[in-house]
Amino acid sequence: MLSGKTIQKAESRPAFEPRIIAFFCNWCTYLAADLAGTSRLKYAPNVRVIRLMCSGRVDPQFVLRAFAEGADGVLIGGCHPGDCHYQEGNYKTLRRFVLLRRTLKQMGIEEDRFRLEWISAAEGDRVRAVVNDMVEKVRALGPLRLNAAVEEEEAVHA
């Protein structure tokens, strides 16, 4: 978050800080994020983590809503294939992810803005690496402006 001081300094055009929503499963990736914390690993503060019981709980509607409400990227973290606490959840996630990413691309959301990673509870360092990498890729893409044409049209009408 920007502090009051930063806002004052930044004047009209503050530097772009990507906002990334991360859906982490309770049994693997969330524990890995916890491990990263207790191990005092430092990584980009741009992720807002939402804990779910399973990556299979990520309804594509959640992803769309995150983008619609202003997220610049969405990250899903789940257990490695074969390790799902609920046996099959992460496979369903993988299938949905493949089709959703293609659909999002058609709707103007670049592939690098939507990412699925398998991260086990022991891989705290991988959380750091994945988050840092994704933040840099999304930063390079710039803010998500989904309805740029509509924004411009509204600006003309206003």
Partner 1 sequence: MPDKPKVAFYWCASCGGCEEAVVDLADGILDVAAAVDIVFWPVALDFKRADVEAMADGSIDVTFLNGAIRTSEQEEMAHLLRRKSKTLVAFGACAQLGGVPGLANLFDREGILQEVYGDSRPGDDLPVLFNDVRALDQVVETDYYVPGCPPAPAIVLKAVQTLLNCARPPKGAILASDRALCDECARKATKPEKLTVAEFHRPHQVIIDEEKCLLAQGLVCMGSATRGGCGAVCIQGNMPCSGCCGPVGTVRDQGAKVLSALASIIESKEDMEIEHALASIPDPAGTFYRYSLPASLLRHKTRERILQ
Residues in touch with partner 1 (CB under 8 A): 59-61, 63-65, 67-70, 81, 91-92, 94-96, 98-100, 102-103, 106-107, 146-147, 149-154
Q: Which two tokens stand for residue 46?
A: 């741009």
Which residue number, 39 or 147, has a Cβ lying nearer to partner 1? 147
Which residue number, 34 or 91, has a Cβ lying nearer to partner 1? 91
Concatenated DSSP letters for 39-50? TT----TTEEEE
Helix axes 89-106, 60-68, angle to 10 degrees: 40
- What is the closest distance, in whole angstroms, from the C-beta atom of residue 95 to partner 1 in the complex? 4
Whether the Cβ atoms of residue 111 and residue 73 lie closer than 8 Å to each other: no
Which residue number, 14 or 81, has a Cβ lying nearer to partner 1? 81
